[in-house]
Chains A and B, each alone.
Chain A
Amino acid sequence: MKETENIFLTLINQHRAIIHKITKMYMNGAEEQRDLFQEIVLQLWKAYPTFRGNSKFTTWMYRVCLNTALIYFKKDSRKVDKMPLDENIDIIDVNESEVKEEKLAYLYAAVQELNVVEKALIFLFLENQSHREIAENMGISEVNARVKLNRTKEKLQSIIKKNGYEF
Chain B
Amino acid sequence: MNFDDLKNEWNAENPEGNNISTDMLKIKQAHTPIDKIRAKMKHEFFYQLFFLVFMAFIPYLAGFSTAINQVYLMTYAITCGFTAYYFFKFYLFYKNSYDMSMDSRKNILWFYYEMKLNVELYKALTYIVAFIAVGFLFAYLFIEQASVFARLLKKLSTAYILINCFVTILVIGAITELWAWFYYGKYLKQVKKVVDELDYE
A47-B100, A70-B108, A144-B201 given; A5·B31 CB < 8 A: no
Interface string of B79-105 (1 = CB under 8 A from A): 000000000000000000101111111
Q: Which residues of A contact B30 (CB under 8 A)?
A: 39, 42-43, 46
A153 sits at the interface (CB 8 A):
yes
The interface centre, meaning the residue of B20, B103, B111 with most chain A CB atoms within 10 A of its CB, is B20
Q: Which residues of B contact A67 (CB under 8 A)?
A: 100-102, 104, 107-108
B1 sits at the interface (CB 8 A):
yes
Interface string of B141-156 (1 = CB under 8 A from A): 0000000000000000
From DSSP, what is the main secondary structure of chain B's interface residues?
helix
Partner of A45, one of B10, B13, B25, B186: B25
Question: Once the chains bind, are A137 and B197 in contact (CB under 8 Å)?
Answer: no
A31 sits at the interface (CB 8 A):
no
Q: Which residues of B contact A45 (CB under 8 A)?
A: 25
Q: Which residues of A contact B10 (CB under 8 A)?
A: 21, 104, 107, 126-127
A147-B201, A166-B1, A167-B2 given; A71·B194 CB < 8 A: yes
Question: Once the chains bind, are A43 and B15 in contact (CB under 8 Å)?
Answer: no
In whole angstroms, what is the CA distance A81 to B30 when docked? 25
Interface residues of B in 181-200 (CB under 8 A from A): 186-187, 190-191, 194, 197-198
Partner of B104, one of A39, A60, A66: A66
Partner of B9, one of A20, A100, A117: A100
How many A-B pairs have beta carbons closer than 8 Å: the answer is 142
A157 sits at the interface (CB 8 A):
yes
Q: Which residues of A contact B15 (CB under 8 A)?
A: 17, 20-21, 24
A42-B25, A104-B10 given; A167·B191 CB < 8 A: no
Interface residues of A in 17-39 (CB under 8 A from B): 17, 20-21, 24, 35, 38-39
Total contacting residues, chain B, CB less than 8 A = 45
B32 sits at the interface (CB 8 A):
yes
Question: Once the chains bind, are A160 and B24 in contact (CB under 8 Å)?
Answer: no
Partner of A68, one of B1, B27, B32: B32
Beyond the given pairs A42-B30, A117-B197, A139-B106, 20 more chain A to chain B contacts, judged by CB atoms under 8 angstroms and listed by A's residue number, are A9-B21, A16-B19, A38-B24, A38-B27, A41-B24, A41-B25, A43-B100, A46-B100, A64-B101, A70-B107, A70-B108, A71-B190, A71-B194, A103-B6, A117-B198, A126-B11, A137-B103, A137-B104, A138-B104, A138-B198
Closest 8 CB pairs of A and B: A139-B105, A139-B103, A20-B15, A117-B197, A126-B10, A47-B100, A64-B100, A67-B107
In the complex, 15 of the A-B residue pairs with CB atoms within 8 angstroms, ordered by the A residue number, are: A9-B20, A38-B24, A41-B24, A42-B24, A43-B30, A46-B30, A63-B102, A74-B31, A76-B186, A100-B12, A127-B10, A128-B11, A138-B103, A139-B102, A161-B1
